[in-house]
Amino acid sequence: MKLKPSDFNHKITFRKTDDELDKSGNFYTPTIVSELSLWCAPRTRTLNQQYQIMKTELEDTIIVVIRHNPKVNESYEVKYQNENYDIVSISTDDTNKTFAYDFVTLKKVKKAGV
Protein backbone atom coordinates (compact mmCIF):
# COMPACT_ATOMS: atom_id res chain seq x y z
CA MET A 1 0.00 0.00 0.00
CA LYS A 2 1.33 3.38 -0.99
CA LEU A 3 0.53 6.33 1.23
CA LYS A 4 1.60 9.87 0.46
CA PRO A 5 2.50 12.39 3.16
CA SER A 6 -0.49 14.46 2.01
CA ASP A 7 -2.80 11.55 2.98
CA PHE A 8 -1.99 12.22 6.63
CA ASN A 9 -4.22 15.27 6.90
CA HIS A 10 -6.30 14.55 10.03
CA LYS A 11 -5.24 14.96 13.64
CA ILE A 12 -5.82 12.15 16.13
CA THR A 13 -5.20 12.46 19.87
CA PHE A 14 -4.53 9.49 22.14
CA ARG A 15 -5.71 10.12 25.70
CA LYS A 16 -5.80 8.41 29.08
CA THR A 17 -7.98 8.88 32.11
CA ASP A 18 -6.05 9.95 35.19
CA ASP A 19 -7.29 10.34 38.74
CA GLU A 20 -6.32 13.69 40.24
CA LEU A 21 -6.91 15.04 43.72
CA ASP A 22 -9.46 17.82 43.95
CA LYS A 23 -8.58 21.24 45.41
CA SER A 24 -9.32 20.12 48.95
CA GLY A 25 -7.03 17.12 48.53
CA ASN A 26 -9.69 14.68 49.72
CA PHE A 27 -11.22 13.17 46.59
CA TYR A 28 -9.91 11.83 43.31
CA THR A 29 -11.67 13.02 40.19
CA PRO A 30 -11.20 11.37 36.80
CA THR A 31 -9.46 13.67 34.34
CA ILE A 32 -8.74 12.98 30.67
CA VAL A 33 -5.12 13.72 29.78
CA SER A 34 -3.83 13.98 26.21
CA GLU A 35 -0.76 11.79 25.89
CA LEU A 36 0.04 11.80 22.19
CA SER A 37 -1.16 13.68 19.12
CA LEU A 38 -0.42 12.36 15.61
CA TRP A 39 -1.38 12.90 12.00
CA CYS A 40 -3.46 10.11 10.49
CA ALA A 41 -4.95 9.04 7.18
CA PRO A 42 -8.55 7.81 7.20
CA ARG A 43 -9.17 4.58 5.28
CA THR A 44 -12.41 3.53 3.65
CA ARG A 45 -13.56 -0.04 3.32
CA THR A 46 -14.67 -1.55 0.06
CA LEU A 47 -18.32 -2.58 -0.28
CA ASN A 48 -17.26 -6.19 -0.03
CA GLN A 49 -15.45 -5.50 3.26
CA GLN A 50 -18.48 -3.64 4.61
CA TYR A 51 -20.75 -6.59 3.78
CA GLN A 52 -18.35 -9.00 5.49
CA ILE A 53 -18.40 -7.13 8.79
CA MET A 54 -22.17 -6.61 8.93
CA LYS A 55 -23.73 -7.96 12.14
CA THR A 56 -20.32 -8.28 13.79
CA GLU A 57 -18.69 -6.22 16.53
CA LEU A 58 -16.77 -4.35 13.81
CA GLU A 59 -19.88 -3.07 12.03
CA ASP A 60 -19.77 0.48 13.46
CA THR A 61 -16.02 0.99 13.31
CA ILE A 62 -13.67 3.16 11.29
CA ILE A 63 -10.03 2.68 10.36
CA VAL A 64 -7.25 5.23 10.43
CA VAL A 65 -3.61 4.78 9.47
CA ILE A 66 -0.77 6.27 11.49
CA ARG A 67 2.98 6.10 11.08
CA HIS A 68 4.20 3.22 13.21
CA ASN A 69 4.49 4.35 16.81
CA PRO A 70 5.35 1.81 19.53
CA LYS A 71 3.75 4.04 22.19
CA VAL A 72 0.24 3.52 20.76
CA ASN A 73 -1.73 0.68 22.36
CA GLU A 74 -5.32 -0.36 23.11
CA SER A 75 -5.33 1.26 26.56
CA TYR A 76 -5.80 4.73 25.03
CA GLU A 77 -9.03 6.57 24.33
CA VAL A 78 -9.05 8.55 21.10
CA LYS A 79 -10.31 11.97 20.07
CA TYR A 80 -10.80 12.09 16.30
CA GLN A 81 -12.82 14.67 14.36
CA ASN A 82 -14.39 15.99 17.59
CA GLU A 83 -15.70 12.54 18.53
CA ASN A 84 -14.57 10.12 21.23
CA TYR A 85 -13.53 6.60 20.28
CA ASP A 86 -12.23 3.44 21.88
CA ILE A 87 -9.48 1.49 20.17
CA VAL A 88 -10.80 -1.89 19.04
CA SER A 89 -7.54 -3.17 17.56
CA ILE A 90 -4.20 -2.11 16.18
CA SER A 91 -2.65 -3.87 13.23
CA THR A 92 1.00 -3.09 13.85
CA ASP A 93 3.61 -3.06 11.14
CA ASP A 94 6.77 -4.06 12.98
CA THR A 95 8.88 -4.64 9.90
CA ASN A 96 11.97 -2.53 9.86
CA LYS A 97 10.90 -0.54 6.83
CA THR A 98 11.67 3.16 6.76
CA PHE A 99 7.98 3.97 6.49
CA ALA A 100 5.94 1.53 8.56
CA TYR A 101 2.25 2.09 9.22
CA ASP A 102 -0.25 0.92 11.84
CA PHE A 103 -3.94 0.43 11.07
CA VAL A 104 -6.02 1.51 14.07
CA THR A 105 -9.64 0.35 14.25
CA LEU A 106 -11.85 2.73 16.25
CA LYS A 107 -15.37 2.43 17.62
CA LYS A 108 -17.33 5.53 18.59
CA VAL A 109 -18.10 5.82 22.30
CA LYS A 110 -21.87 5.77 22.76
CA LYS A 111 -23.27 8.22 25.27
CA ALA A 112 -25.50 6.88 28.05
CA GLY A 113 -29.16 6.87 27.08
CA VAL A 114 -28.45 7.09 23.35
Q: pLDDT tens digit string along 39-48?
A: 999 998 878 8
Q: Residue 114: inside a domain, yes or no?
A: no
Whether 113 is covered by a domain: the verdict is no
In whole angstroms, what is the distance from residue 55 CA to residue 99 CA? 34
* Residues 54-67: tens digit of each pLDDT: 777 777 889 999 99
Domain at 92, CATH number: 2.40.10.270
pLDDT at 92: 86
Does 77 score more than 90 pLDDT?
yes
pLDDT of residue 80: 95
Q: 67 lies in which domain range? A: 5-108
Q: What is the 3-state secondary structure (H, E, C) of the chain?
A: CCCCHHHCCEEEEEEEEEEEECCCCCCEEEEEEEEEEEEEEEECCCHHHHHHHCCCCCCCEEEEEEECCCCCCCCCEEEECCEEEEEEEEECCCCCCCCCEEEEEEEECCCCCC
Q: What is the pLDDT of residues 9-57, one digit of tens each?
A: 999 999 998 887 777 777 778 888 899 999 999 998 878 877 777 777 7
